[in-house]
């Protein structure tokens, strides 16, 4: 038995964070929160999410469970809730559906068979650079880059961080010195190129919800992008596969 009440804005944001990659996901219900991890069908992007029980106004989970959620249905049910409205969520193993209550309205959605959903493991990565920067600055750079290209290169060294996109004739660059970043840990120069559509969607989730983004970067390695919302009670970590440029 699981039940809780949470601000609509929190659960909507989490749902959208997962939905940019997949339309269905496992949710692990535990005594200290809701957790999950999933990868998109193309194996380009992955999300690992944590929704701590402290994000809820009320929270109770008497027995751990893993449920498969159709995110289209969840998004549809949440549409009627205003930003600050409390949403009730409950799951009873016997009934086998997720109940979503908003005011006096309740919608019960059928769940998916988790046995048919693959388990996702986080790959072991040693990424030498860690950059913490403004979400607004990164979002602006991505928006500018989208006008000229479908990919973007991220570069870091001990002195700063750069985002660079090249089109047929134009170039977009964001250059931030070490002093302009929240923090920088980088002993060697690293450089990787990534698809803009995926990266743009990931950063849009954080925009307006988190002041800063943490990027872990290597040479032609997946990008790790992480941020917190709701006072740290919601944690999102994305992995994005690099685009390997031919010589």
| 8 A C-beta contact, residue 203 and residue 138 | yes
Convert the pLDDT of each residue in 204-243 to its tens digit. Answer: 999 989 999 999 999 999 999 999 998 899 999 999 999 8
Q: Averaged over 109-129, what is the pLDDT?
A: 88
pLDDT at position 87 is 97
The residues spanned by each domain of the chain are 2-114, 129-240
Tokens found for residue 52: 């701590």
Give me the residues paired with residue 141 across strands: none
Q: Averaged over 74-101, what is the pLDDT?
A: 93
Strands 183-185 and 129-134: antiparallel
pLDDT at position 120 is 82
Band of residue 247 on the pLDDT scale cut at 50, 70, 90: very low
Chain-centre distance for alpha carbon 235: 8
Specify whether domain 2-114 bears CATH 3.20.20.70.
no
Q: Closest by alpha carbon to 212, among 183, 239, 241, 189?
A: 183
Please tell me the CATH code under which domain 129-240 is placed.
3.70.10.10
Give me the residues paired with residue 87 across strands: 6, 102
Cα separation of the two ends of the chain: 56
* CA separation for the pair 216, 192 (Å, rounded): 11
pLDDT score of 83 more than 90: no
pLDDT at position 245 is 60
pLDDT score of 118 more than 90: no
pLDDT at position 133 is 97
């Amino acid at each position: 038995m699981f039940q809780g009440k949470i601000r609509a804005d929190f659960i909507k944001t989490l749902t959208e964070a997962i939905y940019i990659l997949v339309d269905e996901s496992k949710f692990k219900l535990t005594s200290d929160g809701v957790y999950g991890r999933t990868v998109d069908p193309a194996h380009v992007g992955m999300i690992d999410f944590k929704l701590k029980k402290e994000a809820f106004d009320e929270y109770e989970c008497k027995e751990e469970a893993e449920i498969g959620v159709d995110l289209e249905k969840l998004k549809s049910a949440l549409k009627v809730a205003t930003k600050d409205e409390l949403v009730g969520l409950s799951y009873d193993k016997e009934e086998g559906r997720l109940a979503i209550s908003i005011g006096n309205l309740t919608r019960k959605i059928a769940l998916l068979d988790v046995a048919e959903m693959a388990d996702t493991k986080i790959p072991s990565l040693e990424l030498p650079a860690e950059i913490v920067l403004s979400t607004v600055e990164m979002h602006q750079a991505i928006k500018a880059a989208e006008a000229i290209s479908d990919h973007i290169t991220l570069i870091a060294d001990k002195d700063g961080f750069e985002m660079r996109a090249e089109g047929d004739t134009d170039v977009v660059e964001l250059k931030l010195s070490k002093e302009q970043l929240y923090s920088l840990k980088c002993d060697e120069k690293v450089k990787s190129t990534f698809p803009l559509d995926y990266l743009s969607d990931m950063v849009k989730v954080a925009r307006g919800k988190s002041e800063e983004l943490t990027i872990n970067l290597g040479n032609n390695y997946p990008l790790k992008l992480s941020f917190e919302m709701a006072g740290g009670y919601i944690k999102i970590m994305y992995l994005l596969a690099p685009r390997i440029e031919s010589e």
